[in-house]
């Protein structure tokens, strides 16, 4: 069974940076596309970034140019580097995985428990 564990969340000032990490265990990491979603209070969960098995990234328009996503297959870890953070980036960030063959899935199968990111003024 796939297990996803996020880390790296916390409190950061407006304009600051954070790096989130997510470790996949239970299956072969390289066989999974990986992604990050977020959910702010009172809002729907939204896609932030994803990276395919072949390391092709995709980003939500709201984070393009500020966030990067990368994967380290040797460490079974996906990273979300968040720069120039804004107040509106405050949310719980969820790691997700899916064994889709190409690209990113329409729906993601596995989810982590989430990590809180709070951006303060």
Report the relative pairing of strands 46-51 and 57-59 from DSSP bridges.
antiparallel
Q: Which residues, 6 or more positions from 28, have their beta carbon under 8 angstroms from its beta carbon?
A: none
- Residue-level pLDDT at 87: 97
Report d(CA 14, CA 41) in Å as an integer: 18
With H, G, I as helix, E, B as strand and everything else as coil, classify residue 88. Answer: helix
Measured torsion, CA atoms of residues 73, 75, 77, 78, in degrees rounded to the nearest 10: -50
- Written as six digits, the tokens of 30 are 């390289």
- Residue-level pLDDT at 72: 98
- Residue-level pLDDT at 105: 96
- Written as six digits, the tokens of 111 are 């989810």
Q: What one-character DSSP code corresponds to residue 5?
A: E
Report d(CA 71, CA 44) in Å as an integer: 26
Q: Residue holding tokens 């405050």?
A: 90
- Residue-level pLDDT at 26: 95
Report the relative pairing of strands 10-13 and 115-120 from DSSP bridges.
parallel
Instruction: Give residue-wise pLDDT tens across range 55-77.
Output: 999 999 999 999 999 999 999 99
- Residue-level pLDDT at 50: 98
Instruction: Give residue-wise pLDDT tens across range 7-66.
Output: 999 999 999 999 999 999 999 999 999 999 999 999 999 999 999 999 999 999 999 999
Which among 70, 91, 92 is positioned nearest to 80, based on CA atoms?
Answer: 70
- Residue-level pLDDT at 16: 98
The mean pLDDT of 76-105, rounded to a whole number, is 97
Q: How confident is the model at residue 78 (pLDDT cuts 50, 70, 90)?
A: very high
């Amino acid at each position: 069974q796939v297990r996803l564990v996020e880390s790296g969340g916390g409190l950061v000032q407006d304009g600051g940076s954070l790096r989130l990490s997510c470790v996949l265990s239970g299956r072969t990491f390289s066989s999974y596309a990986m992604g990050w979603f977020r959910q702010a209070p009172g809002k729907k969960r939204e896609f932030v970034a994803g990276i395919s098995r072949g390391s092709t990234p995709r980003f939500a328009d709201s984070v393009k140019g500020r966030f990067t996503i990368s994967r380290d297959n040797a460490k079974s870890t996906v990273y979300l580097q968040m720069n120039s953070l804004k107040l509106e980036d405050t949310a719980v960030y969820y790691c997700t995985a899916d064994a889709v063959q190409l690209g990113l899935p329409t729906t993601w199968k596995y989810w982590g428990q989430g990590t809180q990111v709070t951006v303060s003024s």
